[in-house]
Amino acid sequence: MTVATEAPPIPAAEPAPAEPTPGAARDELLIILESGDLERTWGTLIMATSAAASGMKVSIFLTFWGFYPLVKPGVRITGQNWMQKMLSFMNRPGINHIKMSRLNFLGMGPWMAKRLAKSQGVALPDELLAVAMAMGVRMIPCQMTMDMFGLTRDDLIDGLDEPAGAATVMEKIANGVPALFI
Amino acid sequence: MTTETIHRVDARGLACPMPIVKTAQAIATMSSGELLEVLATDPGSTKDFVAWSRTTGHALVEQDEEGGVFRFLLRRK
């Protein structure tokens, strides 16, 4: 006697919805910020503010390590369990404390980069974040990251969109919105 | 003789993207047909203002440079 161990068939995906409206997404930009590195966050904010200044509707989906810039200044340790707390201890949250991916040197790297930027009239990440939000750039926090890092809405800066998931992002991409994954 | 009001943005000493950001913020408060003069020292702005004018449709009426200061005259669409 043989026992059938076959897994139930995986149902086929629903057919794709009707064609998106042509041109509807032409003036929109989506940025998925996954990196928490200073240089990539900085570049993301420069692109986002430039796009908003060029009349585009910009959304940034902040996920995984890219989420830390959304934590309020002054919030030091986040999370409920020791692993979440340890994670925030090792990666100090907040836009002013993100590290460089290379040459961080315990904060010497970012300190020098910011000093150089100031002397050359380059706006700093915290200034650009404020400008972006004032220009209507939508910040979409990733719900899964919030849960994983143990973050609550009280830990986050004001003016953010409702937390959402990857499907929200995919709807935009399915409608033809150009997307950058950083 | 009629005199036209010219709005002004001083973006001297500011690097990308702030000259364009300040310009966009200023032009948003203006009425259609009004003029905006922008001063900038960022050499990249000479290309950026041409591109920005094409993207947004606000006309770049004049563009010149004197002593390292770039001047852009824009008309709100």
**Among A52, A46, A45, A81, residue whose Cα is nearest residue A66:** A45
Q: What share of chain B is helix, strand, coil (3-state, %, to 5)?
A: 30, 35, 35
Chain A contact for B15 (CB, 8 A cutoff): yes
> In chain A, what residues touch B23 (CB-CB under 8 Å)?
53
pLDDT value of residue A76:
78
Q: Show pLDDT as tens, one digit a residue, over chain B (77 residues).
A: 667 889 999 999 999 999 999 999 999 999 999 999 999 999 999 999 999 999 999 999 999 999 999 999 999 99
HSE of A21, CA atoms in CB hemisphere, 13 A: 5
Which residues does residue A156 pair with via DSSP β-bridges, in sequence order?
A71
Helix (H, G, I), strand (E, B) or coil at A118: helix
The angle at the Cα of A167, spanning A149 to A140, to the nearest 5 degrees, equals 55
Q: Please check whether the domain covering B6-75 is classified as CATH 3.40.50.1220.
A: no
**Number of A–B residue contacts, CB under 8 Å:** 43
Domains annotated on chain A, with CATH: 28-181 (3.40.1260.10)
- Return the number of other C-beta atoms located less than 10 Å from residue A156's C-beta: 21
Q: Give the closest of A117, A121, A131 to B21, CB-based.
A: A131
Average pLDDT over residues A3-27: 64
- Which residue among B6, B8, B13, B16 is the active-site one? B16
pLDDT digits 0-9 by tens, A84-141 = 888 887 778 888 888 888 888 888 888 888 998 888 899 999 999 999 999 999 999 9
Select the more confidently predicted residue: A6 or A106.
A106
> Could you report the predicted ipTM of this complex, rounded to two decimals?
0.86
> In chain B, what residues touch A55 (CB-CB under 8 Å)?
24, 55-56
Helix (H, G, I), strand (E, B) or coil at A133: helix
- Domain boundaries of chain B, sorted by first residue: 6-75
Q: Give the closest of B14, B15, B21 to A53, CB-based.
A: B21
Compare all CA atoms of chain B with the CA of A50 and give the residue at the minimum distance: B17
Q: Give the closest of B15, B20, B42 to A53, CB-based.
A: B20
HSE of A134, CA atoms in CB hemisphere, 13 A: 11
The DSSP bridge pattern shows strands B59-66 and B69-75 to be antiparallel
Average pLDDT over residues A155-164: 92
- As a whole number of angstroms, the distance between CA A175 and CA B3 comes to 47
pLDDT value of residue B10:
97
- As a whole number of angstroms, the distance between CA A172 and CA A31 comes to 11
Instruction: Write down the pTM of the prediction.
Output: 0.84
Contact A53, B21 (CB under 8 A): yes
pLDDT of residue A21 exceeding 70, the answer is no
pLDDT of residue A4 exceeding 70, the answer is no
Helices (H), chain A: 38-53, 82-90, 108-119, 125-134, 143-149, 166-174
pLDDT value of residue A79:
84
- As a whole number of angstroms, the distance between CA A94 and CA A76 comes to 8
Q: What share of chain A is helix, strand, coil (3-state, %, to 5)?
A: 40, 15, 45
Chain A interface residues facing chain B, Cβ-Cβ under 8 Å? Answer: 46, 49-50, 52-55, 117, 120-123, 131, 135
Q: What totals of helices (H) and strands (E) does chain B contain, helices first?
A: 2, 4
A53/B15 touch (CB, cutoff 8 Å), yes or no = no
**Among A175, A178, A144, residue whose Cα is nearest residue A58:** A178
Chain A contact for B38 (CB, 8 A cutoff): no
Compare all CA atoms of chain B with the CA of A134 and give the residue at the minimum distance: B25
- As a whole number of angstroms, the distance between CA A29 and CA A173 comes to 10
pLDDT digits 0-9 by tens, A22-77 = 555 679 999 999 998 999 999 999 999 999 999 999 999 999 999 888 998 888 78
- As a whole number of angstroms, the distance between CA B53 and CA B34 comes to 15
